[in-house]
Amino acid sequence: MDYDKLLSREVVSLKPSGIRRFFDIAAEMDDVISLGVGEPDFKTPWVVRKKAIDILEKGRTNYTANAGLVELRKAICEYLDKSIHTRYDPKKEVVVTVGGSEAIDLVIRALVNPGDEVLVVEPAFVCYEPLVRVAGGVPVIIETKEEDEFRLTAEELRAKITDKTKLLFLPFPNNPTGAIMRREDLEAIAEVLRGTDIIVASDEIYSELTYSGKHVSIAEIEGMRERTVVINGFSKSYAMTGWRLGFAAGPEPVIKQMLKLHQYQIMCAPSVSQFAAVDALRYCDDDVAAMRDEYNMRRRLVVDGFNKLGLDCFTPQGAFYVFPCIRSTGMTSEEFCEKLVYSKKVAVVPGNAFGECGEGFVRVSYAYSIAHLKEALLRIGEFLEELRNG
């Protein structure tokens, strides 16, 4: 068989994440202190797990409505009203998805015609660009910069808009930089977008994890609700990554097409997860606050730690990552990570995994205990010391 001829050219041409190789090295070594995970170290709140157990006991394991349990959609709309002051109709403007990831794919495929340009803010989570490509779209990267605190600026945005621009992905709070967009930043972006036919896909999966004031969504900026699809989910805020549950909310004409795709490819999100998620939204505000509080303490400790070690680290205001600059070592991100894991058994993720402009940085997750983080910082300190002494 000549598989090369057989396989989709588009899929084969997708960048195999170069990072895989590095992950494999880290996975095969014993006693590695990892700072590489992209998920909470907390357990899903007990009430949520209990609800899932009850549902299993009752055997309520059928499909739900394609768009998701009505009860859950209502709870999601209440949540959006409360958190980002934006109202959605649970019957027509929300779809419950298999994680935020599915919602990202749906919004791309519902909107993109071949040749349409999709603006992707980088550094960012890795999925946007390949999914746009597979859908026949043309990804156009907008690089954010450390001197802007990795925020998207109106100028950078305006410079990339053409008459083919269809969609803008706005991933804030950001993985890997931890950057957020303040209200004034969003106002400036909205000013550029109002009056265009560009839809914003606002990936707000880390919205509950912001550390200086409440998260603001671009959907709540004047004139933006009609041109925004909000993507969010339960993975990060409620420590529910493995439950695979997310959602998209937006104007009916877009959600309607997304739902159609969802119906054909997925049927419905996992029903047990959906029942449990209702209780997450109802009863877990305190759990979310406690987790946020804990992350915040770690964040401060880790940022301070890196700055003291001489690796400049901008103070992230969201998510659970810090993104220190490693250029002072004279190494590339991948060299740095590889040497660090071999010599000190500490695994961090090279910044270029999140786009070329992530080169010169590494992503460090602080979804770990204080003791674990301190040990890792100690080892990174030793590593830098040894580098300096040749």
Ranges of H-type helices in 284-314: 285-309
Least distance in angstroms from the C-beta of 353 to other proteins: 6
Pick out residues in 19-58 that bind other proteins (CB under 8 A): 19, 23, 26-27, 34, 36-39, 41
Handedness of CA 109, 115, 117, 122 (dihedral sign): positive
Q: Least Å distance between CB 60 and other proteins?
A: 28
Taking CB under 8 A as the rule, which mask of x and - marks residues 284-323 in contact with other proteins?
---------x---xx-xx--x-------------------
User: Do 102 and 203 touch, CB atoms closer than 8 A?
Assistant: no
Work out whether 17 is an interface residue with other proteins (CB under 8 A). Answer: yes
Please report how close the Cβ of residue 28 comes to other proteins at its closest, in angstroms: 12
* Structure tokens given for 78: 């209440």
Residue 347 binds other proteins, judged by CB under 8 A: yes
Q: How far is the CB of 153 from other proteins (least distance, A)?
A: 25
Extended beta strands in the chain, E state: 33-34, 94-97, 117-122, 138-143, 165-170, 199-203, 228-233, 246-249, 321-322, 346-347, 349-350, 362-365
State in angstroms the smallest separation of the CB of 232 from other proteins.
Answer: 18
Nearer to other proteins, 92 or 379 (CB): 379
Candidates 189-197, 198-206, 281-289, 346-354: pick the segment binding other proteins (CB under 8 A). 346-354
Binding mask 243-272 for other proteins (x = CB under 8 A): ------------------------------
Residue 125: what are its φ and ψ, rounded to 5°? -50, 145
- Burial 151-176, CB ≥16 within 10 A → b, else e: bbbeebbeebbeeebbbbbbbbbbbb
**Could you give the CA distance from residue 331 to residue 176 in angstroms, rounded to a whole number?**
19
Taking the C-alpha atoms of residue 233 and residue 26, their distance in angstroms, rounded to an integer, is 29
**175, 223 Cβ separation under 8 angstroms:** no
Binding site for other proteins (CB under 8 A): 17, 19, 23, 26-27, 34, 36-39, 41, 125-126, 175-176, 293, 297-298, 300-301, 304, 347, 349, 353-354, 370-371, 374
